[in-house]
Amino acid sequence: MEFLPALLAILIIVTAMLWVLVPAIYGLPPVSAKRERIRKALELANLQSGEQFYDLGSGHGRALIMAARDFGAQAVGIEIGPVQCAISRVNAIWNGVNSRVRIEAGNFYRTDLSKADVIFAYLTSKYAIRLQEKFERELKSGARVVTVSFDLPGWQPAFFDRENLLFLYEKK
């Protein structure tokens, strides 16, 4: 029993390191989007009940839960961080939307986005060009993309919310 506190301390340190380091390695924002900003993004995208909502880099699942619970969407989170995936799953269960939320542990560049009606991306501008190419290849006509704090250089936004730095795009 003497080793239990040391084992617990190691577990906490490893978890904290994974929480910070995995997203940092991929250059993802260390801060979650605020609830009000997410709600504005989902409203801007006109997310409807039953639509397929994808969150690229879903973190602890805040946008997924809101999309499923408040908008009735089927939500898919793509997250590279193992700790964030685990927390997202617990949050979905805790909020009673587990049946409408799916968490995929992995790289969103390797995820098929062809079923998405709405994409939410709170990333950095370094992802813009590569994502833009992926969206052009995979998204169906009429799919909406909401980006937070970065634009897609080759696409013309259908709407720009200057106050919240939200860009709305629609795949032609």
pTM for the model stands at 0.85
> What CATH number is given to the structural domain containing 123?
3.40.50.150
Q: Are 148 and 154 in contact (CB under 8 A)?
A: no
- Residue 133 CA: distances (Å) to CA of 6, 55, 136, 142, 171: 48, 17, 5, 16, 12
What is the span of the domain harbouring residue 87? 4-170
pLDDT digits (tens, 9 = 90+) for 15-59: 555 555 555 555 555 567 789 999 999 999 999 999 999 999 998
What is the pLDDT at residue 81? 85
Q: Are strands 52-56 and 166-170 parallel, antiparallel or unpaired?
A: unpaired
- The number of domains in the chain is 1
What is the pLDDT at residue 108? 93
